[in-house]
Structure 1
Amino acid sequence: MANNSLLDRSRTVAGPGYNRWLVPPAALAIHLAIGQAYAFSVFKKPLGSLISGNPDAPAPTDWTPAQLGIIFSIAIVLLGLSAAVFGKWLERVGPRKAMLASALCFGGGFFIAALGVHLHSLWLVYFGYGFVGGIGLGIGYISPVSTLIKWFPDRRGVATGMAIMGFGGGAMIGSPLAVALMDRFKDSAPQGVAPTFIVMGLIYLLFMQFGVWTIRVPADDWKPAGYTPSTEHNALITSGNVTADNAIKTPQFWLLWVVLCMNVTAGIGVLESASPLIQEAFSDKNLGAGRGVTAAAAAGFVGLLSLFNLLGRFFWSSASDKLGRKTTYAIYFGLGILLYALVPTLGASASLALFVVVCCVILSMYGGGFATIPAYLSDLFGKMQVGAIHGRLLTAWSTAGVLGPLIVNYLHSSAKEQNLEGAAAYQSVFYTMAGVLVIGLIANFLVRPVAEKYFEKEAAPQKAVA
């Protein structure tokens, strides 16, 4: 495109006196939309009964839960891969063009998936929601992050927490919206899914335009009034810049890759197990008739976990501005190890209230891990190409998105084969996830300031602030 295009980065540079607090709403518009991916499970039963019309009695030609589960996995894998591939492009062209590409892919993915539902072509649904939509997820996820860090060098954790909190909250909007639309269209199409996909694709495509056209980047020499780099908790904070290509050559990048992968793998372990565990461990059989946790109550519990996942993204990332990123992750892992190991005991002892509290704290740290990592990267590698570096690191999320469910399903199936029930059937899951967090704790402990040789020569001074 021509340099004078409205989408060009130069057209998004804010003028003097621009209020930086106008930028977070633009970021939220993107993340609240793409966060719908976390609500995909509401489509599983309707998609699995397009032929039969009855989720409880599927026809032989209906799609199976295993087949449908692949859709979300494709989307998460493509999130990480596209973030890695397009990160440098984002830094070059600016957030406006990247956000528009995200909106077109994410909304377009719904349209393609709708055609797949209409034709009953699972591969077309894979391609639409999974592949094309997943690319939209990845580009949209990283688009606002580096911009916010540049606007808020004094509050990096707060800034990234504001945006990534939106991704955690997207499901709280997307889930009831999808249910309402499917109910509205159920008489005009099988389970109302295809028209729901079309309407949601259009809604998100338009909603994301607010972010596209209101986003601004600061001038290269801009800094907040009166801002001076903090001398508190800054042993890892650099005043230089490392390119994305050089960042992946450093041990720090791969240590943080392990940190994120372990945090997400363990968190997915709770997300996969919490609802069935609370129903099995706190059943009428164990607590007495009428006292057990019902399916409806378990659904409410999952909603509560989603809320703490959302709140943790802002709380913990904001706290990291004061505590320091390394200390914050030490809390995630150190406290997490204790809490994960405690969950099976609480289930076995029928301590319902404490069980709920522990799981909520765990999920808050799971969400906090996502929101804190961009600021951690900015501390270590500078802000110049932090979006591209963040994009490459998100391949850890893609890996965990596959690894976590595999571990959980294998361990739980093995426990069932041994005729273990209730909390005992999940004991190996939570103990293993505690072990996963030990690996993350060690990786975080090993993080040191980035060596001077990796920094851009013109970025001076290049040494980490002592």
Structure 2
Amino acid sequence: MSVPAYPHPHFLSRERTVVGIGFNRWLVPPAALAIHLCIGMAYGFSVFWLPLSRAVGITEPLACPADMGFVQSLFATGCDWQISMLGWMYTLFFVLLGSSAAIWGGWLEHAGPRKAGLVSAACWCGGLVVSAAGVYLHQIWMLWLGSGVIGGIGLGLGYISPVSTLIKWFPDRRGMATGMAIMGFGGGAMIGAPLADLLMRRFASPTSVGVWETFLAMAAIYFVFMVAGALSYRVPREGWKPAGWTAPAAAANRMVTHRHVHLDVAWKTPQFWLIWGALCLNVSAGIGVIGMASPMLQEMFGGQLIGVAAGFSELTAAQKGQIAAIAAGFTGLLSLCNIGGRFAWASFSDRIGRKMTYAVFFVLGFALYAAAPWAAHSGSVALFVLFFCIILSMYGGGFSTVPAYLADMFGTHMVGAIHGRLLTAWATAGVLGPVLVNYLREYQIAAGIPRSAAYDQTMYILAGLLVAGFLCNLLVRPVAERHHMSDEEVARKQGTSAAAVARRESEVHADFEDFVEEGKDGAMPLPQAAGKVASLRTTPPALVAFAWAAVGIPLAWGVWITLQKAVALFH
């Protein structure tokens, strides 16, 4: 049986991931989750700071000589690192995430999600291996290079790898689709942090705090999950749409385009920079709170958290330990809201639109930030916690809604690359937000303001940032017609995928004719031949169930652990 001759694409190419009729699109979200739940551990890296700060002293940190210079400290093996030095890994994560997504986002659109996912796995897990060597040899620069730089590149590629794919599989539910995947990035720390704690306790010995062994173990576990996720990515053929779904008429919603804008044009439009500003300001407000959530609750409420009428500075060491445990529950609860908000708000945006969803973020966020000092001074812990749970849900919702916002504005053809450029807003916010919150707090305390009131001015400034974000979002208008690609340009760029689909469909058609011939010859009963053809075109339901269980069970475990810690907040 002859099949039309088309160039056979490489296994890692985008063309090899294109599938035709019968593929179950619900197999793609767990593939994205498998990668995002692994790289999301970046949020939980603080679990390593204290053990690493006593990697030499084992039981107590061994301080470096006071006259040791910065360059010497990079190579010193006889004294422990300060937590402030380790914290640079966290900064590098998000700076490299945004910059690598911006640099290689265009490459990803051509290379496809499978290749990008595998590169992400190699960088993220390889970075952990380099960091393990850095801990073993006690070289801080190896941790910065391994997890910070190499791992940060893996973060960027892994973060954006499923975006355009999911949007193309779910044109009817763009927000929900991206919310499912990006939810995993928020949930990665819920699984990774307790797992790392278990492993460190398992590997700890009189001569080791167990961190380098944990890095190696987690690198192996994550590599298996990330490779499985990357190899499971599939891309729909051009023109595919869900059965029974009809795209809304272009005139029905001018904020949703049916055309496409090229990456090189999109980032020069006012719409791109207005959405960039809206995301940056929303993230700046939220990320600053995430980094200071635990000390903020402790310092604002002090002994009230344990029923003692005393400020934070007046508490004993034992009492501070008690409220620290409660604050850990608060941090865990915020993580849950961050995750839930990524799915809930993105799904909600499918109903009310992306621009309106962002308007809700800014209006409601402004009200909650402005009212937070009042809730604290009135002594209402429950109200204060509720306010910040809602705020953090909108912080997560901003991340998961923005890819669909970009697809509405610029079309789906290069949305992954455009999203990569936009993530430089996250890199900017990752510096702006924490610096703003941390330095304002220190300034207030140095000026003699009580710790319980040291965050008031910060809350009002964060509320002001959201007013600026509201104005950015308000100014977003549909992209001008002159910026759209012509049908001929889109067809040229889609030509390779179309050829791959044609080749695959020709092969399936050839197989069908072969099976029919076998049935006629009596070699195979016709019903069996028909069933064999159907198996080529449909995804087994058991495979879909297994894929969801593989990511759902670890996520459920992480949620359970977090809820157990959060219970202390209400006792």
TM range (shorter): over 0.9
- Whole-angstrom distance in 2 between the partners of 1:387 and 1:188: 48
- Whole-angstrom distance in 1 between the partners of 2:137 and 2:228: 33
Aligned to 2:395: 366
Among 242, 249, 254, the residue aligned to 2:261:
242
* Match runs of 1:63-74 below 5 Å: 63-74=81-92
- Whole-angstrom distance in 1 between the partners of 2:206 and 2:224: 24
- Whole-angstrom distance in 2 between the partners of 1:317 and 1:71: 30
Which amino acid counterpart does residue 28 of structure 1 have in structure 2? L
Aligned to 1:442: 471
Which amino acid counterpart does residue 448 of structure 1 have in structure 2? R
Among 254, 258, 271, the residue aligned to 2:290:
271
Among 223, 228, 231, the residue aligned to 1:213:
231
Q: Does 1:19 align with 2:27?
A: no
Q: Which segments of 5 or more consecutive residues in structure 2 lack a partner in the other structure?
A: 1-6, 65-78, 311-318, 491-571
Which amino acid counterpart does residue 178 of structure 2 have in structure 1? T
Q: Does 1:256 align with 2:285?
A: no
Among 37, 49, 53, the residue aligned to 1:44:
49
Among 59, 63, 74, the residue aligned to 1:59:
63
Q: Which segments of 5 or more consecutive residues in structure 1 lack a partner in the other structure?
A: 462-466
Deviation at 1:65, TM superposition (A): 1.6
In structure 2, the CA distance between the partners of 1:5 and 1:188, relative to structure 1 (3 Å rule), is farther
Q: What secondary structure sits across from 1:35 in the alignment? A: helix
In structure 2, the CA distance between the partners of 1:412 and 1:208, relative to structure 1 (3 Å rule), is same
Aligned residue pairs, count? 459
Deviation at 1:460, TM superposition (A): 10
Among 434, 439, 448, the residue aligned to 1:405:
434
Deviation at 1:58, TM superposition (A): 4.2
Among 291, 296, 300, the residue aligned to 1:281:
300
Aligned to 1:376: 405
- Whole-angstrom distance in 2 between the partners of 1:380 and 1:460: 18
Which amino acid counterpart does residue 335 of structure 1 have in structure 2? L
* Match runs of 1:335-374 below 5 Å: 335-374=364-403
Q: Does 1:155 align with 2:173?
A: yes
* Match runs of 1:91-170 below 5 Å: 91-170=109-188
In structure 2, the CA distance between the partners of 1:286 and 1:94, relative to structure 1 (3 Å rule), is closer
Please, which moves more after superposition, 74-83 or 421-430?
421-430
- Whole-angstrom distance in 2 between the partners of 1:110 and 1:459: 45
Is the CA contact (8 Å cut-off) linking 2:108 and 2:416 kept in structure 1? yes
- Whole-angstrom distance in 1 between the partners of 2:148 and 2:9: 34
Aligned to 2:33: 28
Give the share of equivalent positions with the same residue, in percent.
56
Q: Does 1:173 align with 2:191?
A: yes
Among 328, 337, 340, the residue aligned to 1:299:
328
Aligned to 2:559: none
Is the CA contact (8 Å cut-off) linking 1:233 and 1:323 kept in structure 2? no
Please, which moves more after superposition, 427-436 or 372-381?
427-436
Deviation at 1:226, TM superposition (A): 2.1
Which amino acid counterpart does residue 147 of structure 2 have in structure 1? Y
C-alpha distance after superposition, 1:194-227 (max 9, x if no partner): 1111111111011111211111100012111122
- Whole-angstrom distance in 2 between the partners of 1:248 and 1:181: 44
- Whole-angstrom distance in 2 between the partners of 1:187 and 1:78: 34
Is the CA contact (8 Å cut-off) linking 1:234 and 1:324 kept in structure 2? no
In structure 2, the CA distance between the partners of 1:3 and 1:130, relative to structure 1 (3 Å rule), is farther
Q: What secondary structure sits across from 2:10 in the alignment? A: coil
- Whole-angstrom distance in 2 between the partners of 1:40 and 1:284: 29
Q: What secondary structure sits across from 1:383 in the alignment? A: coil
- Whole-angstrom distance in 2 between the partners of 1:423 and 1:378: 44
Which amino acid counterpart does residue 4 of structure 1 have in structure 2? P
Is the CA contact (8 Å cut-off) linking 2:284 and 2:432 kept in structure 1? yes
Is the CA contact (8 Å cut-off) linking 2:333 and 2:389 kept in structure 1? yes
Q: What secondary structure sits across from 2:294 in the alignment? A: helix
Deviation at 1:54, TM superposition (A): 3.3
In structure 2, the CA distance between the partners of 1:183 and 1:286, relative to structure 1 (3 Å rule), is closer
Deviation at 1:448, TM superposition (A): 0.2
* Match runs of 1:72-91 below 5 Å: 72-91=90-109
Deviation at 1:230, TM superposition (A): 3.1
- Whole-angstrom distance in 1 between the partners of 2:292 and 2:22: 50
Q: What secondary structure sits across from 1:178 in the alignment? A: helix
Is the CA contact (8 Å cut-off) linking 1:344 and 1:423 kept in structure 2? no
- Whole-angstrom distance in 1 between the partners of 2:163 and 2:202: 36
Is the CA contact (8 Å cut-off) linking 1:266 and 1:433 kept in structure 2? yes
TM-score for both structures, normalised by structure 1: 0.95
Which amino acid counterpart does residue 264 of structure 1 have in structure 2? V
Which amino acid counterpart does residue 145 of structure 2 have in structure 1? F
In structure 2, the CA distance between the partners of 1:379 and 1:449, relative to structure 1 (3 Å rule), is same
- Whole-angstrom distance in 1 between the partners of 2:478 and 2:469: 18
Which amino acid counterpart does residue 19 of structure 1 have in structure 2? N
Please, which moves more after superposition, 331-340 or 10-19?
10-19
Deviation at 1:357, TM superposition (A): 0.6
C-alpha distance after superposition, 1:358-406 (max 9, x if no partner): 1100000000000000000000000000000000000000010011111
Which amino acid counterpart does residue 118 of structure 1 have in structure 2? Y
Is the CA contact (8 Å cut-off) linking 2:445 and 2:451 kept in structure 1? no
Q: Does 1:224 align with 2:242?
A: yes
Is the CA contact (8 Å cut-off) linking 2:182 and 2:400 kept in structure 1? yes
Deviation at 1:423, TM superposition (A): 3.2
- Whole-angstrom distance in 1 between the partners of 2:35 and 2:8: 25
In structure 2, the CA distance between the partners of 1:402 and 1:459, relative to structure 1 (3 Å rule), is farther
Q: What secondary structure sits across from 1:52 in the alignment? A: coil
Is the CA contact (8 Å cut-off) linking 2:117 and 2:161 kept in structure 1? yes
Aligned to 2:15: 10
Aligned to 1:464: none
- Whole-angstrom distance in 1 between the partners of 2:306 and 2:193: 31
Is the CA contact (8 Å cut-off) linking 2:58 and 2:206 kept in structure 1? no
Among 447, 467, 480, the residue aligned to 1:418:
447
